[in-house]
Amino acid sequence: MMNGDRIVQFIAREDLIDLALGHPDPDLLPVDGLRRAAGAAFDRYGPDAVAYGSAAGPAPLISFVCARLEKIDGRAPSPSEVVLTAGNSYGLDQVATLLTRPGDAVLVESPTYHLAIRILREHPLDVIPISSDERGLRVSEVADAVFRLRQRGGRARLLYTVPTFNNPTGISLALDRRRELVALAASEGFTIAEDDVYRELAYEGEPPPSLWSMAEPGIVVRLGSFSKSLAPGLRVGYLTADEPTARRFSEGGLLESGGGISHFASLVVAEYALTGEYASNVLRLREEYRRRRDALTAALDAEVGDAARWISPDGGYFVWVTMREQADLAMLLELAEQHGTSFVPGPVFHPDGRGGQQSVRLAFSRYPAPMLAEAVRRIGSSLLSRPGHRAARA
């Protein structure tokens, strides 16, 4: 949206059905409910709603996070184990700021959320990729990497992972590997930064338990966010950690200086949750995104089933599609954009840029089902119009 000549928000390309975008559909953002909640926050708190907030965030939202996690993760943190954040991007940046030193080694699942790689490198940390398969992160490779680092006189300080409804693969880490991973972190002394941003968006029953819920205190910092389950522009999320670690965040310079990071927005979320609307909004999102996931995978079956394979995700925003034959992804992307759609090429999600050469990430979050089907039809046309494909058929 533009306001005069001032840009108000992220602008999507209008000439594309852009499946590269891991964004919610603006039509699914609950504007009326949030408007009421903002009014309710002013009614209840008056000027305190927009004064400096308490460092860890306002108690009403912390209480809600505790209760909600008991419901969706089977283990409630105590309020002193929660610090509100401005979303997971901010949370990860704070983890890197407070729990690492420049040059430390951080193990990162590969493929992974590409912008997390950037955040970690900006600190700057030494990002070491660990591969994954259809059961998620290969924990045996984590053990190997830790061993190699130790042999060189170093150590792994942090491991970053999206174990539940991964971005970009949609895969969740298997339960036995979850257990192995938290045990390994405990024995080797590295912290797990668990990016749990998609937990609420589960389409096939309950999501798996978080690493945080399975670990002894002090092993995992879990990052949760209201970006996917409510609205990303609020910039409200939370982290759960053991009490001493949580205190490092709430007593750090950033929060001491500015108070709670998203104070007003956190109060708005708390008011919204109090009415029961948050829970019903999540149910509505699950239903709609499940429909979209099914539309996308049905279209893939129909249009590119011979040329590619994928795993239908149990949650989140993405389908990771792998071509059966070697693909020139740069050319395919160019053709797709000429046909009016787009995607993110697989290598972007690999810290070393070397994996994912035959894969692309498609997001089903931003567009309704018929537009997703049309986008996949356009990808199918792009595949058919590749010069190599014509030559093969001639």
Ligand X SMILES: Cc1ncc(COP(=O)(O)O)c(C=O)c1O
Q: Which is nearer to ligand X, 178 or 361 (CB)?
A: 361
DSSP state of 4: T
Contacting ligand X (CB under 6 A), which of 61, 62, 95, 162? 162
Would strands 237-240 and 82-85 be described as parallel, antiparallel, or unpaired?
A: antiparallel
| One-character DSSP codes across 197-226 | TTTT-BSSSSPPPPHHHHSPTTSEEEEEES
What gap in Å lies between CA 271 and CA 50, rounded to an integer?
15
Q: How many CB atoms lie within 10 A of CB 329?
A: 21
**CB of residue 92 to ligand X, shortest distance in Å:** 7
Please report whether residue 232 would count as binding ligand X according to CB under 6 A.
yes
Contacting ligand X (CB under 6 A), which of 88, 161, 250, 266? 88
Kindly identify the residues of this chain, within the stretch 2-41, that bind ligand X according to CB under 6 A. Answer: 22
Among candidates 369, 326, 366, which has minimal Cα distance to 342?
366
Write the interaction track for ligand X spanning residues 276-315; mark x where CB under 6 A is met and - where it is not.
Answer: ----------------------------------------
Please report whether residue 132 would count as binding ligand X according to CB under 6 A.
no
Among candidates 89, 165, 112, which has minimal Cα distance to 364?
165
Among candidates 252, 239, 259, which has minimal Cα distance to 98?
252
Q: Which is nearer to ligand X, 323 or 362 (CB)?
A: 362
Contacting ligand X (CB under 6 A), which of 105, 146, 173, 197? 197
Q: Which stretch binds ligand X (CB under 6 A): 63-71, 85-93, 281-289, 326-334?
A: 85-93
Please report whether residue 172 would count as binding ligand X according to CB under 6 A.
no
Q: At 165, phi and psi to the nearest 5?
A: 55, 60
Please report whether residue 169 would count as binding ligand X according to CB under 6 A.
no
Among candidates 370, 372, 375, 366, which has minimal Cα distance to 340?
375
Write the interaction track for ligand X spanning residues 320-359; mark x where CB under 6 A is met and - where it is not.
Answer: ----------------------------------------
Q: Are 372 and 364 in contact (CB under 8 A)?
A: yes
Please report whether residue 227 would count as binding ligand X according to CB under 6 A.
yes
Interface ranges with ligand X (CB under 6 A): 22, 87-89, 113, 162, 167, 195, 197, 225, 227, 232, 237
